[in-house]
Structure 1
Amino acid sequence: MVGVEFFGNFDLASAAIWLFWIFFAGLVYYLQTENMREGYPLRDDKDDVPANESLWPLPKEKTFKLRDGRGELTVPSKDYEDSKMRKDLALAPSGAATGSPWVPTGDPMKDGVGPASWAPRKDHPELDAHGHAKIKPMSSLEDFKVSAGRDPRGKAVVGGDGEVVGRCTDMWVDVPEQLVRFLTVDLNPEGTGKTRLIPMNMAKIGTDRVTVRSLYAHNWDGVPTIKKTDEVTLLEEEKIMAYYAGGTMYATPEREGTVL
């Protein structure tokens, strides 16, 4: 018998369970350290590395080759994390204690802090599996049409104060997902080309208008613009979304007060 003649009194079942626990512990360690490749080293309120950064040590640097010829990325890397940090933010701590909330000291709608904060993402468009920009204006897509729901094109765009600010002229579609991500509003329908993008999830399409409650009439000129007319980059998406989201609190001074 194998269990008696070869292994003697060795317990194969016990060995199997112990090997499983060793493997599982190693897997947990591996996943936890790999999870620390971005966002580390950590920073405290004084921009220093905290003493108790993590229960796990940082993994060794690893270099990844990015798709579509976009270079290489080495993580974790202090230089890489420093390059993503926004400097000179118009913020100040509300108290002396570590962890106190930070409050904006400038114009939060323009400074991009608080509810209007944005992350410094890559300034290039998100690509699909074939290397093409995912989000495109519907006016450039011959195969796309509105098959259900209300078509917002041609409708007036109204802000949270009820003022008409322009007219919707186009929709931006996530081609692989077949979803509308943005609307185009012409702030001067006479044809000067003064356009802005509206995140679809911040707009309500009615029978005769498109309503965006987060912004008032005086906020629309400040909506971040895009460099090209046929594509939007990840950084531009981030800034546009942050601006509209920040308007829910910062569009007017009255919105910053306590609501009962």
Structure 2
Amino acid sequence: MRILFLGDIVGRTGREAVIARLPELRRALGIELAVVNAENASHGYGLSAEIARSLFEAGADVLTLGNHAWDRKDIIPFIAQTPRLIRPLNYPPGTPGQGAVMVPLPDGRKALVVQAMGRLFMDPLDCPFRGIAEVMNSHRLGGSVQAIFVDFHAEATSEKMAFAHFLDGQVSCVVGTHTHCPSADAQILPNGTGFQSDAGMCGDYDSVIGMGKAEAMARFWRKTPGEKLQPAEGASTVCGVFLETDDATGLAKRIAPVRLGGRLAETLPTAGG
């Protein structure tokens, strides 16, 4: 199975770049499942129902959220009606939405997409390790499901690595989100799970993690709150991860970073390997 994951969309230029590039990426790489983290897609904070619909129309099969999941209040009724929009599974019981979704492919294969959120330097949620262990009790990779993709939304690289090693051999891939900087550690772990610490953002990299430089610098320099940070409006780089799995085992055969457009050096895997 060929899977494309795109990291955190930040603001208007980020979502416009994803909407423009996603159809061609699906064609060029033969993508069968496209997952997009969209928690910053609405003006840098949260996701609106309208923008979620536009991303689905552009070719996203599943949208994931994160710590900004509830910044836009209209997402609450929308997520309840939209199973392919998921939020971290370790939010407390009773939180709207779900932390995982099963996606049937046209040929009958199935992919499970899961999101969890870290706790180190983040909101104090339920344990993501315990939460995903419960999900794994219900699904067997290479048996009831042909691929399991995990978006782990976390601040600390150490927690992301520990989470991936915890799941090594049980899921197809673990990719980190939230820090908005693409890491250079794409690899297949010893037991066959693909991993990259952070997919990076889909946004303007002439910025401070996607936000305007002047306001962000002032916060560090002056130590005053100032105005609310606004997304940078320059050309965006579409960043993500390409994964190819073995249908018999569900484990990763190939993992490679994706960077297209904007300021960062471009890299795009070939469809044939």
Measured against the shorter chain, the TM-score band is under 0.3
Larger RCO: 1 or 2 (CA < 8 Å, sep 6+): 2
**TM-score between the two structures when normalised by the length of structure 1:** 0.21
**TM-score between the two structures when normalised by the length of structure 2:** 0.21
| Rg comparison, structure with higher value | 1
